[in-house]
Amino acid sequence: MNSIRLTRKLICSDYLKKTSSQVALKKSFRYNKADFERFVRLYRINNPNGFWLIFIPTFGGLSLASDSVLPKPGNAMLFALGSFAARSTGCVINDLADRKFDSKVERTKNRPIASGEITIPHVALLGSSAVSALILSRLNKYTIFLGIPSIFLMAAYPFMKRITHYPQLFLGFAFNWGILLAWTSVFGCINPYRNSWLCIISYYLSSVCWTVHYDTIYAHQDKLFDKKIGIYSTALRWNKLTRKRLFTNAMISGVLASATGKFANFGLEYQISVLMYTAHLIYQSKTTNFLSEQDCMNQFIMSKYSGIILLLGITFSKYRAKNRHSDKHGTKILLKD
């Protein structure tokens, strides 16, 4: 009988150990999953719209610099990763700088840093910054040198909202810096003694205006909270004149985009894409309900399509130019990238 009781105790003890270890494993998995989800929200992986708003103009710059219709897949992938890392780094910097403000705004109070879910955000910042630096190190020395100012632009942006009514303009310079990096990654530098540099500068400035457009719409979501806590934006600065200001901004962006095609020797097909691009911006400026947070968010999400229209115009124009060159010489040529 004693041996039977001892055996039962051993079996029960073994069962309890297995059960407790399984429970601990499940808890560990649950905690790890929760941590992962928090970092997904911190890096905005669950909301890729910001990534596209950086990568689309960057890919456009890479396409303009390339001799072929499309850039090399390896270069495109490198800049896609760079756009993702830069956006993630920017989000962490912005959330760190604005954590006290974000906790007071309804739309942002549940962000991981503002809500206290992530207590070691500097580790997250270090991680995304290291990835950005690693990607930048794969490029030529001119591009690495040009990439250094982008770090300061990204770090300074959150503080621009405290000192200027036009932080969206500053964001435009920071968000579209990848255009210049894409150009120098192919050409080695931006040579002011070559006419081609005007092509990329005009495209860069057009994209800056594009950023001012969509981020002004975005800023209208929080304008009442921003006014209370002392944050500046073009949404507050322009207020009831927003439609007129966005219309003017759209026209400037369209003129600069058209100049890009002129400097790049693109044909009529590109200018048609510019008209479609400008029309989309004007349509948004006329129809957006700036009193509705949901409509502002919807229009902000739709903004990437205007960038895609211009990108398709660049791609199609290069394709037509390649065919014209082939027909002129009577043979099909292979353009080097």
Exposed, middle or buried by CB within 10 Å (0-12, 13-18, 19+), for 165?
A: middle
Tens of pLDDT, residue by residue over 252-286, are: 999 999 999 999 999 999 999 999 999 999 999 99
Q: What pLDDT sits at residue 30?
A: 47
Q: Which band of pLDDT confidence, cut at 50, 70 and 90, is reported for residue 334?
A: very low
Choice between 334 and 290, residue whose per-residue pLDDT is larger: 290
Residue 15: pLDDT over 80: no
What are the structural domains, with CATH classification, of the chain? 41-329 (1.10.357.140)
Is the CB of residue 145 less than 8 Å from the CB of residue 190? no
d(CA 39, CA 90): 14
Alpha-carbon torsion (50, 53, 56, 59), positive or negative: negative
Q: What pLDDT sits at residue 303?
A: 96
Q: What pLDDT sits at residue 279?
A: 98
d(CA 108, CA 226): 12
- Give me the chain's average pLDDT, please: 82
Tens of pLDDT, residue by residue over 184-210, are: 988 876 665 455 789 999 999 999 999
- For the question of whether the overall pTM of this predicted structure is more than 0.85, the answer is no
Encode 55-87: b = buried (16+ Cβ within 10 Å), e = exposed. Answer: bbbbbbbbbbbbeebebeeebbebbbbbbbbbb
Tens of pLDDT, residue by residue over 26-79, are: 443 344 667 677 777 777 778 889 999 999 999 999 999 988 888 889 999 999
d(CA 150, CA 278): 27
Q: Which band of pLDDT confidence, cut at 50, 70 and 90, is reported for residue 326?
A: low
